[in-house]
Amino acid sequence: MPTQEEKGRAFRALHERDHAFIIPNPYDIGTARILAHVGFEALASTSMGYAFTQGRPDYGLQRGDVLAHLKLLAAATDLPVSADLENGFGDDPTTVAETIAMTAATGIVGGSIEDATGRAGAPIYPLDVAVERIRAAVAAARALPFTFTLTARCENYLHDREDLDDTIARLRAYEEAGADVLYAPGLETAADITAVVKSVRKPVNVLGGFAQLSLAELSAIGVKRVSVGSSLNIAALSAFTRAAQEMKEHGTFTYAKSSVSSSQFTNIFARR
């Protein structure tokens, strides 16, 4: 089992290559092990995906619940794991810093802090407040005894604020505050993604699925990392829902014919 520092350095190095990598988002131990078996190099948690496994809405879990989940994910494989830490579970920069320190204690080697407030009336923090929060997260990350990669997220596009200029200005400010990776989920076009990549010096993460571009196309633009958020969980829940509806409405079981055999999963899970 690699040490946390070895995982941290390996994770940071993935961002320094001349091409992009996919960091998929498992939502439990089983999916983490499947993704490791498939051959991915690093993993990232998904707040929405995990919340859905608990029958809760996005942002419906407390910090303690998420930290317990992160500890299980970090121990599930030998891969580096980064964490979706929402807005740090509090407005105050001190709370954000505490969240980073507590996350590090779970075995996680990276994490993202977003500038969304969780409040419908004012969904995005004012820039000065958002920068202070990222600065506090960075300071907490730098105080750790291992390499922790801090991602700063601008949530404009997920809250109907499709303002590219403001998004770029925020990402630049988070870069100046010390963030290691920059991320604006919801960008869709090659033109917008290119504008972001060219406007900053730090590695850029893009949300696959929103961006209807392949890994090769994103890599050519200069993107360094591609995550998929809750989409794997949504795909699984969608298949489950369709199967349930087929049984209820038609009394048939054709969904089982296209399933991966249980023996394949048994073999994957028996290896650890």
- Alpha-carbon span 31 to 79, nearest angstrom: 13
pTM of the predicted model as reported, rounded to 2 decimal places: 0.96
pLDDT in tens, 105-151: 999 999 999 999 999 999 999 999 999 999 999 999 999 999 999 99
- Alpha-carbon span 97 to 167, nearest angstrom: 23
CB-count burial class (<10 Å; 0-12, 13-18, 19+) for 205: buried
Whether the predicted pLDDT of 272 surpasses 80? no
DSSP secondary structure letters along the chain: ---HHHHHHHHHHHTTSSS-EEE----SHHHHHHHHHHT-S-EE--HHHHHHHTT--TT-S-HHHHHHHHHHHHHHSSS-EEEE-TT-SSSSHHHHHHHHHHHHTTT--EEEEE-B-S-TTS-B--HHHHHHHHHHHHHHHHTSSS--EEEEE--GGGGT---HHHHHHHHHHHHHTT-SEEE-TT--SHHHHHHHHHH-SS-EEEEBTTB---HHHHHHHT--EEE-TTHHHHHHHHHHHHHHHHHHHH---GGGGGSPPHHHHHHHHHT-
Write down all domains in the chain, each with its CATH number in brackets: 4-230 (3.20.20.60)
Whether the predicted pLDDT of 268 surpasses 70? yes
Handedness of CA 103, 47, 93, 128 (dihedral sign): positive
Contact 172, 200 (CB under 8 A): yes
pLDDT in tens, 213-263: 999 999 999 999 999 999 999 999 999 999 999 999 999 999 999 899 999
pLDDT in tens, 79-91: 999 999 999 999 9
Contact 181, 23 (CB under 8 A): no
Q: Would you place residue 211 in the very low, low, confident or very high pLDDT band (cuts 50, 70, 90)?
A: confident
